[in-house]
Amino acid sequence: MNDDFSDAYVMGAFNRMAKAHIEIEALQGEAASLQASIGARQQATQAISGAIFQVAKQGISLVHGGLAAAPDGRFIKSATVKSIVWQARNQAMHFEEGAPKQPVKDLFAILEAEHGPQFSLSLHGAQSRAKQVLDLLGWNEYSAYLTDMSLLLPA
């Protein structure tokens, strides 16, 4: 204590500090809850995106009997839509195993080189990249999905 600070000033400062400490704890709890909610939403979005690739891959399998016999579809730089669909599905369904097969590694290396680190399996190996691939294809719009699938599965 010194002459510049009264007892009332010191007590007021202490009360403000205590109140701020309580508010910080509440905000930290709220931030943790929001982060958990965001994480759950991101996982759900990845799962839904992976399911879209599963449906597309099943269509290719049913109509063409496999990847080799299917038409390429359009090119996304140097990768074909059929390869992107097939390998994105494989990555999305098996990412938790942590050991992607060579065709998945090859395709994602191309996507990373041509479109950025969001496709890196070394940076995101333990995560599905289905949503990122879905965005790359423009399949967040049904019309883009329908156009590509019409090329892959002609009537």
Beta bridge partners of 79: 76
DSSP 92-120: HHHGGGS---HHHHHHHHHHHHHH-GGG-
Inside any domain, residue 70: yes
pTM for the predicted model, two decimal places? 0.79
**In this predicted structure, what is the pLDDT of residue 11?**
85
Tokens 């982060």 found at = 35
Domains contained in the chain, number: 1
Q: Provide the residue range defining the domain that includes 16.
A: 7-152
Q: What is the pLDDT of residues 115-143, one digit of tens each?
A: 999 999 999 979 999 999 999 999 999 99
Inside any domain, residue 90: yes
Inside any domain, residue 2: no
**In this predicted structure, what is the pLDDT of residue 37?**
83
Inside any domain, residue 1: no
Q: Minimal CA–CA distance to 55: which of 155, 154, 153?
A: 153
Give the whole-angstrom CA distance, residue 143 versus residue 151. Answer: 12
Give the whole-angstrom CA distance, residue 119 versus residue 54. Answer: 19
